[in-house]
C-alpha cells in the first residue's frame, strides 16, 4: 500500500498568478528566445508540448522547486527534443530564474539542447531515442518496491515511438501492472524526416497501447482544461499504466511553421526572433506588457534619424525575405541562413560572399 504524500509535496501548486494560457505564451516566448541563440533549439517539438508541460507542472505533478530531490516527488521524464520547452516550464515553475536561460547553449551553461540533469528539476538526460519509457518503467517499479506514492510521467515524442525499445517497455509495464506510470505522447504526427506515417505507421495509437494492457486516452494537446480533466481522470491506484495521446501541432503558435517538418530545429536570427515574439505577444498583448524583459540590462536610447533613408545597393543580389529564409544581421550568425536553406536562398548567398564573421558594422541597408 503506497504511503500518503509527504507534507512538503501534498497539494503543491504553481504559485504564479497568470492564467494557464498566458503561462503557455510566456513559455513559448522563452523557447523562441533560446532558439535565437547561437545554439538554436528544437523549436517545433517544444512548441507542440507546451500545454502538456504547463498542465503537468501547474496541476498534476507533486513537485516542489525548493526541494527538487525530494524522494517522494513525482518524476517526469521529458522527450529529449523538448528540452528547451522543459527548461522554460521549469523556470516559470520556480526551479531557477528565467534569466538563467539567457546562457542557453554557451559552453559553460547548464542548459543544452538535450535535457541536462544538472538543471534543477531535470531528472534524466533523455534524447537518445527509445530511452525514456524504459527508464520510466524502472522508476515506476522502484516506486512500487519502495511503497512510495510517487508517480512517474514520461513525455514521448511520436517520432520516438519508432524505436522498438518503447514497445518492449510498454509491454513490460502492462505485464507488471504499473498503475502509477503515465505516458504522454506528443502526437504532432511529424518526426525529423517528415510525417511519422511515412516511416512506420503509428495509427491508431490508442489501440496499440490498449493491446499492451494500458488505459488509453486521446485529447487535444493544446487545450489545457481538457488535459487537466484527462489527467484528473486517471486513477492513481490501478493495476494498469495509462497513456494520454495528446493531438498536437508541431510549431504551434507560429503560423508560418505550424505543422511543418522544417520547424524541427531552428536557429532564429534577430529578425525572425522578433517576428515570432511579436506574434506571440499579439496573442496576449495585455499580459505581455506585464511580463519581465528577457534582457535585464537597459539599452541606450537610439539617436533620432536625420536625413533620407539609405538606398539598397543595386548590385546586391535579391534574397528571399520571408519566413523560410532569413539572414541575421548579427555577426554571430552572419553567413548562413537561420531557417531551412531553400534553393533560392542558396543561390543568393553563393553568388554574394557573406560579410566577414568578425565584422561588427551593419550595411547601410540594414540600419
In the bound state with Mg ion, the residue whose beta carbon lies nearer, of 46 and 112, is: 46
Q: How far is the CB of 79 from Mg ion (least distance, A)?
A: 9
User: Minimum distance from CB of 69 to Mg ion (Å)?
Assistant: 31
Residue 41 vs residues 36, 45, 151, 199, 359: alpha-carbon distances, Å: 8, 10, 29, 24, 25
Dist. CA 316–CA 365, nearest whole Å:
10
Which positions from 5 through 64 interact with Mg ion, judged by CB under 5 A?
A: none
> Site mask, Mg ion, residues 110-149, x = CB under 5 A?
----------------------------------------
Shortest distance in whole angstroms from residue 289 CB to Mg ion = 34
Shortest Å, Cβ 191 to Mg ion:
5
* Closer residue to Mg ion in complex, CB, 165/330: 165
| Stretch of 61-69, 156-164, 203-211, 296-304 lying at the interface with Mg ion (CB under 5 A) | 156-164
Q: Cα 98 to the chain's mean position, in Å?
A: 15
CB of 187 to Mg ion, least distance (A): 7
Q: How far is CA 149 from the centre of its chain?
A: 28
The nearest distance, CB 87 to Mg ion, in angstroms, is 19
Among residues 51 and 158, whose Cβ is nearest to Mg ion? Answer: 158
Residues 165-194 that bind Mg ion (CB under 5 A): 188, 190
Work out whether 158 is an interface residue with Mg ion (CB under 5 A).
yes
Cα separation of 230 and 234, whole Å?
7
Distance (Å, whole) CA 254 – CA 275 = 9
Task: Provide long-range contacts, Cβ within 8 A and 24+ apart, for 302-311.
Answer: 310/364, 310/365, 310/367, 311/364, 311/365
Give the binding-site size for Mg ion (rule: CB under 5 A). Answer: 5
Q: Which is nearer to Mg ion, 115 or 159 (CB)?
A: 159
Cis peptide bond N-terminal to 204, omega within 30:
yes
Helix (H) or strand (E) holding 153: strand 152-157
Report the nearest approach of Mg ion to the CB of residue 157 (Å): 5
Measured distance CA(29)–CA(278) in Å, rounded: 10
Q: Which residues contact 164 (CB under 8 A, 6 or more apart)?
A: 130
Return the number of the residue (22 or 158) whose C-beta is nearest Mg ion: 158
Q: Which residues bind Mg ion (CB under 5 A)?
A: 157-159, 188, 190
Amino acid at each position: 500500500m503506497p504511503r500518503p504524500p509527504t507534507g512538503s509535496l501534498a497539494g503543491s501548486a504553481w504559485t504564479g498568478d497568470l492564467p494557464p494560457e498566458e503561462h503557455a505564451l510566456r513559455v513559448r516566448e522563452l523557447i523562441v528566445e533560446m532558439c535565437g541563440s547561437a545554439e538554436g533549439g528544437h523549436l517545433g517539438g517544444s512548441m507542440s508540448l507546451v500545454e502538456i508541460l504547463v498542465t503537468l507542472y501547474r496541476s498534476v505533478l507533486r513537485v516542489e522547486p525548493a526541494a527538487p530531490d525530494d524522494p517522494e516527488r513525482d518524476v517526469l521524464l521529458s522527450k529529449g527534443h523538448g528540452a528547451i520547452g522543459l527548461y522554460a516550464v521549469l523556470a516559470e515553475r520556480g526551479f531557477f530564474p528565467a534569466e538563467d536561460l539567457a546562457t542557453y547553449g554557451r559552453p559553460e551553461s547548464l542548459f543544452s539542447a538535450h535535457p541536462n540533469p544538472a538543471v534543477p528539476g531535470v531528472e534524466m538526460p533523455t534524447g537518445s531515442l527509445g530511452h525514456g519509457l524504459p527508464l520510466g518503467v524502472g522508476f515506476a517499479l522502484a516506486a512500487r518496491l519502495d511503497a512510495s506514492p510517487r508517480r512517474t510521467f514520461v513525455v514521448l515524442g511520436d517520432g520516438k515511438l519508432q524505436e522498438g525499445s518503447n514497445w518492449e517497455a510498454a509491454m513490460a509495464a502492462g505485464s507488471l501492472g504499473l498503475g502509477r506510470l503515465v505516458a504522454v505522447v506528443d502526437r504532432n504526427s511529424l518526426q525529423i524526416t517528415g510525417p511519422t506515417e511515412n516511416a512506420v505507421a503509428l495509427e491508431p495509437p490508442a489501440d496499440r497501447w490498449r493491446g499492451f494492457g494500458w488505459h488509453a486516452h486521446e485529447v487535444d494537446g493544446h487545450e489545457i482544461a481538457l488535459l487537466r480533466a484527462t489527467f484528473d481522470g486517471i486513477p492513481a491506484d490501478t493495476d494498469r499504466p495509462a497513456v494520454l495521446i495528446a493531438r498536437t501541432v508541431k510549431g504551434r503558435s507560429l503560423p508560418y511553421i505550424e505543422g511543418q517538418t522544417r520547424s524541427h530545429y531552428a536557429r532564429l536570427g534577430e529578425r525572425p526572433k522578433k517576428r515570432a515574439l511579436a506574434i506571440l505577444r499579439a496573442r496576449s498583448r495585455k499580459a505581455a506588457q506585464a511580463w519581465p524583459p528577457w534582457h535585464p540590462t537597459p539599452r541606450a536610447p537610439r539617436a533620432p534619424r536625420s536625413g533620407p533613408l539609405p538606398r539598397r545597393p543595386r548590385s546586391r543580389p535579391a534574397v528571399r525575405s520571408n519566413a523560410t529564409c532569413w539572414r541575421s544581421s548579427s555577426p554571430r550568425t552572419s553567413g548562413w541562413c537561420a531557417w531551412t536553406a531553400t534553393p533560392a536562398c542558396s543561390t543568393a548567398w553563393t553568388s554574394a560572399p557573406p560579410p566577414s564573421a568578425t565584422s561588427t558594422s551593419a550595411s547601410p541597408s540594414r540600419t
